[in-house]
């Protein structure tokens, strides 16, 4: 059986899932098992090609959202899986990404989750952008969460292994024992109150409260085609409002002085549609 299992949640992801899976199949080291959970794609035929591949499983669900879909995949893991990778379908790992991640986690017994150096990737040209996407999630002094380095030219900055406040949900390499301990309920990892957005931060906070750590390592690399980076206005208002609302929910579950910022932001998005 595989020591590592990868869970990928899809939603109309036919443009990127092929490249994502191809990168996984080129991984160095022992083979990994892959569970693809479809959350309400309009046409799921593009997933049929993966159903007959060895160590692949495809699950179909309604549009249940990112958290519930990942939880469904988690419930289908083999009993002897040690590490679980939550991977967006628009993330493409390098050939040694998972092998490097295992080496880091084996050296860090208190690490529940590893986040790597996520690099920008242009889905139009099919080439790296030369810019950073995320080197861990941090919080501004007034409360706003952000992906460190996002949009910066990659000059080798953030080049040291370190503990960080939270991991980006596009690539989370997790220790299953920690997830089992910190889950909101048996067989669950992500809080189902978060349909989409901020669920990665909530999980990171919950793991840290249990005494675990979140680790960033620059040698663990992957490419992320975050298509909306060209402008916030390209994100539908419904999703911007969901993201703002979820920040309020986050601070209800993890009380903080930053609730004021979350309420202010949610009000601005709701009233002025920014």
113: β partners = 174, 214
DSSP three-state, residue 27: coil
Shared domain for 144 and 125, answered yes or no, is yes
Same domain, 59 and 46: yes
Q: Please name every residue paired with 134 in a beta bridge, in sequence order, or none if there are none.
A: 118
Instruction: Tell me how far apart the alpha carbons of residues 106 and 109 are, in angstroms, rounded to a whole number.
Output: 6
- Report DSSP state, residue 23: H
- Kindly report the length of the chain: 274
What's the rounded mean pLDDT across residues 104-120?
A: 97
- Do 217 and 235 sit in the same domain of this protein? no
Q: pTM of whole model > 0.85?
A: yes
∠ CA 22-51-31, rounded to 5°: 50
Other Cβ atoms within 10 Å of 244 Cβ, number = 21
Which two structure tokens, joined as six digits, stand for 161? 């292994």
Contacts of 247 (CB under 8 A, 6+ apart): 145, 198, 262, 265, 266
Q: Given this model, what pLDDT does residue 82 score?
A: 96
Q: Are residues 206 and 244 in the same domain?
A: no
Q: Tell me the pLDDT tens digit for each residue of 189-231.
A: 999 999 999 999 999 999 999 999 999 999 999 999 986 445 5
pLDDT score recorded for residue 231: 53
Tell me, yes or no, whether 146 and 214 share the same domain.
Answer: yes
Structure tokens at 23: 């990168």
What's the rounded Cα separation, in Å, for the pair 246 and 19?
A: 30
Tally of domains in the chain: 2
Residues 221 and 240 in one domain: no
Based on the domain organization, do 249 and 189 belong to the same domain?
no
Q: How many CA atoms lie within 13 A of 76 on its CB side?
A: 20
Same domain for 147 and 50?
yes
Residue 150 and residue 221 in one domain: yes
Residue 235: which pLDDT band, with cuts at 50, 70 and 90?
A: confident
Provide the β-strand partners of residue 8. 36, 87
18 phi and psi, to 5 degrees?
-60, -45
Contact (CB, 8 A) for 65 and 36: no
CATH number of the domain within which 105 lies: 3.90.550.10
Domain of 176? 4-230
Query: Does residue 130 sit in the same domain as residue 265?
Result: no
pLDDT (tens digit per residue) in 48-77: 999 888 899 999 989 999 999 999 999 999
Same domain, 168 and 257: no
Report how far Cα 193 is from the mean position of its chain's Cα atoms.
17
Residues 167, 40 share a domain: yes
């Amino acid at each position: 059986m595989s020591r590592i299992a990868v869970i990928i949640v899809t939603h109309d992801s036919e443009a990127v899932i092929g490249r994502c899976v191809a990168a996984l199949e080129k991984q160095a080291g022992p083979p990994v098992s892959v569970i693809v959970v479809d959350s309400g794609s309009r046409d799921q035929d593009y997933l049929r090609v993966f159903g007959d591949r060895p160590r692949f499983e495809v699950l179909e669900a309604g549009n249940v959202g990112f958290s519930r879909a990942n939880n469904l995949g988690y419930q289908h893991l083999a009993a002897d899986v040690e590490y679980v990778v939550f991977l967006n379908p628009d993330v493409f790992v390098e050939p040694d990404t998972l092998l490097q991640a295992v080496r880091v986690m084996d050296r860090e017994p208190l690490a529940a989750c590893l986040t790597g150096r996520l690099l920008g990737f242009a889905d139009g040209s099919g080439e790296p952008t030369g810019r950073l996407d995320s080197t861990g999630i941090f919080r501004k002094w007034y409360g706003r969460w952000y992906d460190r380095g996002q949009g910066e030219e990659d000059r080798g900055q953030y080049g040291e292994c370190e503990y960080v406040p939270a991991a980006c949900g596009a690539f989370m390499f997790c220790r299953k024992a920690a997830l089992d301990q910190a889950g909101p309920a048996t067989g669950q990892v992500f809080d189902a109150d978060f349909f989409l957005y901020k669920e990665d931060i909530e999980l990171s906070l919950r793991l840290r409260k249990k005494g675990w750590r979140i680790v960033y390592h620059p040698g663990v690399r992957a490419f992320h085609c975050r298509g909306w980076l060209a402008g916030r206005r390209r994100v539908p208002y419904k999703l911007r409002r969901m993201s703002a609302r979820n920040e309020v929910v986050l601070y209800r579950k993890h009380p903080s002085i930053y609730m004021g910022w979350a309420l202010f932001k949610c009000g601005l998005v709701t009233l002025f549609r920014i």
